[in-house]
Amino acid sequence: MALDVEQAGDHDPIKAMAAGARRRLRWAALLREPGTALGLLLVVSLLMAGLLAPWLPLDDPTDINLPGRLLSPSAEHLLGTDHLGRDTLSRTVHGARMTLLAAAITLVLSMSIALTVGMLSGYHGGWLDSALMGLVDLLLAFPSLILALAVAGALGPGLFNVLLAAGAVWWVGHARIIRGVTLGARQMEYVTAARAAGAGNLRIILRHIAPNILGPIIVIASLDVGWIILGIAGLSFLGLGAQPPTPEWGAMLNDARPHLQTSPRLLLIPGAAIFLAVLAFNLLGDGLRDLLDPRTVRPGG
Cα gap 54→98, rounded to integer Å = 12
Where do runs of H (alpha helix) occur along the chain? Answer: 2-9, 13-32, 34-52, 88-124, 126-140, 144-155, 159-170, 172-186, 189-196, 201-203, 210-237, 249-256, 265-292
Please give the Cα distance from 21 to 250 (Å, whole number): 44
Query: CA Rg, the chain, in Å?
Result: 23
- Give the residue with the Cβ less far from another protein, 107 or 240: 240
Contact string (CB under 8 A) for another protein, positions 19-38, x = contact: ----------------x---
- For residues 207 and 210, what is the distance between their CA atoms, to the nearest angstrom? 6
Return the closest-CA partner of residue 4 out of 165, 185, 152, 141. 185
Indicate the helix (H) or strand (E) that contains 297.
none
3-state secondary structure (DSSP) of residue 60: coil
- The stretch among 9-17, 71-79, 115-123, 236-244 that binds another protein (CB under 8 A) is 236-244
Cβ-based neighbours of 232, under 8 Å, separated by 6 or more: 99, 102, 103, 106, 162, 163, 166, 241, 250
Q: How far apart are CA 18 and CA 8, in angstroms?
A: 11
Binding mask 165-204 for another protein (x = CB under 8 A): ----------------------------------------
Of the pair 162, 204, the CB lying nearest another protein is at 162
Q: Are 118 and 127 in contact (CB under 8 A)?
A: no
Kindly state the smallest distance separating residue 79's Cβ from another protein, in Å. Answer: 16
Check residue 138 for interaction with another protein (CB under 8 A): yes
Q: Which of 14, 154, 197, 202 binds another protein (CB under 8 A)?
A: 154
Site string for another protein, 282-301 (x = CB under 8 A): xx--------------xxx-
Among 53, 117, 178, 253, binds another protein (CB under 8 A): 253
Q: CB-wise, 54 or 244, nearer to another protein?
A: 244
Q: Does 144 bind another protein (CB under 8 A)?
A: yes
**247 contact partners, CB below 8 Å, separation of at least 6:** 61, 62, 90, 91, 92, 94, 95, 98
Among 240, 284, 288, 292, binds another protein (CB under 8 A): 240
**Which amino acid is present at 132?**
L
Minimum distance, C-beta of residue 225 to another protein, in the bound complex (Å): 11
Side chain identity, residue 191: V
In angstroms, give the least distance from the CB of 3 to another protein.
30
Q: How far is the CB of 69 from another protein (least distance, A)?
A: 20
Nearer of residues 14 and 141 to another protein, judged by Cβ? 141
Contact call for residue 13 and another protein (CB under 8 A): no
The footprint of another protein (CB under 8 A) covers 35, 135, 138-139, 141-147, 149-157, 226, 230, 233-234, 237-240, 250, 253, 260-261, 264, 267-268, 270-272, 274-275, 278-279, 282-283, 298-300
